[in-house]
Each structure stands twice: as structure tokens, then as C-alpha cells.
Amino acid sequence: MAINYLNSIDLNQNELLHAQIENQASDALAGTGVEGQLYFNTTNDVLKVWANGAWSSISGDITSVTAGNYLNGGGSIGDITINHDTTSRSNTTSSDSPAYGGSFTTIDTVTTNTYGHVTAVNTKTVNLPASDDTTYDLTVPSGTTNIRLAGSDATNDDVTISATGSETTVTRISATELRIGLPDDVTIAGELTVAGTGQSSFAGQVTIPQTPSADTDAASKHYVDQAVTGALSYQGGYNAATNTPNLDSNPNPNPIKKGWTYTVTADGLFFTEQVRVGDVLIAENDAPTTLAEWTTVQDNVDLADLTTVGIGNVNPGEAIDVSYSNGTATVSVEDSTATSKGAVIVAPGVGISVAYSNGTATVTNTQTNSANTYAVTITDTATVTHNLGTKDVIIQLYDVTTDETVYADVERASINTAAIAFASTPTNSIRVLVQKIG
């Protein structure tokens, strides 16, 4: 729906930015205009103006081309083609016939300005042959071009025989040299006996069975750690946020033993119990899997704050009462007074209604004030008297038939009157709405 202006718009020599002229497919759809009215013809892509009772193009372009002697074609819409009229070429006796070997003038170039308007047309003369027997041949030489990709010679490429498991590795260094190497890890299926009376040393870690089977067997660290059963054995820190190491389920192959002790290094849940940094956890059984099989020694209890559960008490505040009984605090809200905040109920008054929903009060003004508004219907330029006693008024106009907002010249002539002016008499009656501000 277009905004309906009933008077001229003065832009005071300011730019009209990003404006679009009315689009129509034909003059008929554009209708009858007034002198100087514009519209854009979307069929021919030209801008037209209403002048002297008709729509005229203001593009300045060539609107039609007519074929001349010995030519046919032409037109006024879209791409235009001019063809040589071959039917007149049979006349070889007349000097003005193309078949005679004459010449004709045709358009060479067309010059336009930055607005696309034609500013100049240049022509040229085309000489015709005496007959149409001349033939122009374009010969394309034939031939075959072969493209060959040569392969590489891999005769002397190095070859490596890789090992798997505990096998050896054979590497070809050159055409005359092979290199055999031992793998990093060697597995001996049978027994390994180290003879001699001297000491044997190992630079790396030697892995042995966890539990020795004979008195002369070496004892593993795991076996030694478990030799002391029931005594407190400090195992290190415990991150309760990530359950590291895993204490919620009995780990394997290193099961937890009675007396193993851990210190909490990060807050979190241990099973279902909150533990904090500094708390101590002691296993009461071998391989514990429940909270009841652990003893938790709390290191401290934090003071409570807005985000931390801990030790605290409740103090009364503004409009809040607190009372204690057997360690239980009862909190209540005081009633509001003229000098202190508290609980309050909103009651309706004169011209005011109050509705409650889910604890929310909605206050509505039910009283209208006719002293602040004025409305009247006019049919042409007029001065309306609203008697609101101020120029601080909002004035709006709308068409009573279409209900569309319209615009005209509005002047606040005095504190009680307003002048409404139209460029021409409106088709329908106009409703004037006046509202006082303040």
C-alpha cells in the first residue's frame, strides 16, 4: 500500500537517494498522466514523460531503423537486423544495382554519452563486387601430433626388506652392499642364562612377574607394596573432579589394598559424597567399590557464600525478618509502610483497574480524557479549531474511505487552531486527529 500524499513535497534541494521511478509494462498500464509525470517502461527499458497529452521517451536513443535500397529488415523493438536484399542482385545492367559492382552506405559506429543517449552516428561506404561468384576459402592443414611420455628406469632402485616381530632387517645399500641389522626388541622363547660371577647391569627397566613363586625369585614393587597389609600406606593425591586415579571402582591389575591413603587435590564427588582439597581418603577393605568401604577425613568446611555451600547463618535485612528456633531459621517479609519497604498489594483506584496473574499485577487506565484529544472530518483545505490550548499537538490525517494515512501541509496556526492545506481537492473525505502532548 502506497503512502498517499495530498500535497507537494519540498526536499529543500536535498538529494533523493535510492529512489525508484514507477514501473509499468506499457503506456496503457501507466494510464493518463499530468504534465511532467514520469514512469519507466519495463518492456522497452526506457524512461517516459507525460508531455503534450502523451507518453514520450526521454532516453534520446534510436527508436526505429528502416531498411533502404537493396536492404531489408529493420524494426523498433529489441535487436534489429539489416540484411542485403539478394533479390535485386540479378540486375547487372543498372549502375545502382549491387550486382553491377556499386556501393552503399551503412552505419559504422554509434557514440553514446554516460547516460546511454546517442550523441553521434558514423557511416561508411561498402563496395560490392561485380558479381557474387567470388569464393573465399579458408584451408586448415591436416596432420598428426604424437605425444609420448617416457617411463623411468628402475633397474638400480634401492630395495629394503623390512622385519616383523623379532626378525632381522635386510637393507640394500647399493648394487654391491647389503646391511643386516638387529631389531630393537628381542623376544626369547626359552630360558636366558647369564654365566659368570661378575655383576650384571641393565640400563632399561626389567619387567618381572608381580608375584614371585620361589624364595629365590625377585620381588616386584607391587608385591612389596602389598606385603604390609592393613597399615596406612600413602599413595599420593586424588583429583575428585576427574576421579584420577580411579577409586570409584577397584582397578585392575593394581587393586586397592586396605590402609591405602589418598589426599584430595581437587574438589569433586567421591562416589556420591562431596570432598574438597585437603580431605583424606582411607580404604577400609581390600578392593573397595562402595563409599561405605572408605573413611573420609574432612580437612575443613568452607564458609558459605552465594555460590558455595558451607557454614553460615541468616541475618535480617531490609523488609526481611529472621527468627531462630532449635537451630532453624524462619524468614518472613515485612509489610510495606510509608517509610520502609516490604510486601505490598496493588489495589484499583478511580479510573484504574488491577488484574493479577501468577503473582504479576497488571494496571490499566480505564479513564479517557476528552480534554486532550480532538477529531473532525474535512473535505478540502480547511482550518480546524481543536481548543486544546497549546501548539504541542500531534496531527494525523487519514482517508475515511480507504482508511489509509495521507499527508498534507499542516500548520499550527495558534494554540487552538490548525490549518490543513491540500494541493488539490481530495477524492474522499479526510479525518483529522489531534492529540495534546503534556
pLDDT top residue among 357 and 174: 357
Domain ranges for the chain, please list them.
4-57, 65-127, 226-297, 313-365, 370-436
pLDDT for 344: 84
Coil, strand or helix at 194? coil
Pairwise CA distance, residues 109 & 124, whole Å: 9
Share of the chain above pLDDT 70, in %: 67
Residues 422 and 416: their CA atoms lie apart, in Å, by: 20
| Average pLDDT value over all residues in the chain | 78
Please check the confidence at residue 219 and state whether its pLDDT lies above 60: yes
pLDDT tens track for 392-433: 999 999 999 999 999 999 999 999 999 999 988 999 999 999
pLDDT at 410: 94
Concatenating the DSSP letter of every residue in 359-384 gives TEEEEEE----GGGEEEEEESSSEEE
Q: How many helices (H) and strands (E) does the chain have?
A: 2, 30
Which three cell numbers, joined as nine digits, stand for 222?
A: 607391587
C-alpha cell at 84: 542485403
Cell of residue 390, nine digits = 497549546
Q: How far is CA 285 from CA 46, 230, 277, 291, 295, in A?
A: 97, 8, 23, 11, 10
pLDDT at 44 over 80: yes
Question: Residues 349-384: pLDDT tens digits?
Answer: 877 899 999 889 999 887 666 778 999 999 999 999
Q: Which residues contact 76 (CB under 8 A, 6 or more apart)?
A: 63, 64, 65
* Residue that is written with C-alpha cell 482550518 in the block: 383
Rounded Cα gap, residues 428 and 378, in angstroms: 9
Pick the more confident residue, 394 or 342: 394
Report the amino acid identity of residue 132.
D
| pLDDT of amino acid 136 | 40
Q: 233: Cβ–Cβ under 8 A, 6 or more apart, which residues?
A: 225, 257, 259, 260, 261
pLDDT, residue 227, reads 62
The DSSP code for 189 is S
Cβ burial of 27 (10 Å; 0-12, 13-18, 19+) is: middle
Cβ atoms of 406 and 6 within 8 Å: the answer is yes
How confident is the model over 267-299, as pLDDT tens digits? 999 998 988 888 999 999 888 989 999 998 887
Residue 307 Ramachandran class (φ > 0 left, ψ -120 to 50 alpha, else beta): alpha
